[in-house]
Amino acid sequence: MEDYSELEERLRSLRPLPLADACRARIGAGLARRRRRRRGVLACLLVAAATLLLWLAWAGAEPDVPPAPVAEDPRTPPSLRSYQQAWQESDAALFALLDQHGAQLLPRLASLPNLQDD
């Protein structure tokens, strides 16, 4: 096998052309552009995260108060209440009336002409 060590030494002594300054500057500019882009993305993420945190803080600070019970208006017509409730209330009112005034009412009811005819 031939010995090329001398030739290798001669090759090693050659000095390749260095990178031109303009090429180096373009590489630097490319890296700087990439850094700026990465910083921009980071800034956007930070703003989004801060907005989310603020929103969460604002939502957490709101008092969790249950809605106030609506007072029952006595003028509310029975038709707006539940049918069963209205029925029970009217029954109770009728019986209370009969308890109080039944003794006086019954003779008068009996004396009414329509009732006598029926």
Partner 1 sequence: MNTTPDSWNAWLDATGAALLLVARTLCRNLADAEDAVQSGFLRFWKQRAAAHNPRAYLFRCVRAAALDQQRSQARRRRREARVAAGGRQEVWFRDELERDEQRAELAAALRKLPAAQAEVVALKIFAELSFAEIGALLTLSPNTVASRYRYALKNLAQVLVGRR
Residues that bind partner 1 (CB under 8 A): 2, 4, 7-8, 10-20, 22-24, 26-28, 30-31, 34
Q: Which is nearer to partner 1, 14 or 71 (CB)?
A: 14
Q: Which is nearer to partner 1, 17 or 80 (CB)?
A: 17
Q: Report CA-CA distances (Å) from 102 to 25, 53, 96.
A: 111, 71, 9
Q: What is the dihedral of CA 78, 83, 89, 91, to 10 degrees?
A: 120
Distance CA(75)–CA(3), nearest Å, equals 118
CB of 16 to partner 1, least distance (A): 4
CB of 58 to partner 1, least distance (A): 39
Q: Which is nearer to partner 1, 15 or 108 (CB)?
A: 15
Distance CA(104)–CA(98), nearest Å, equals 9
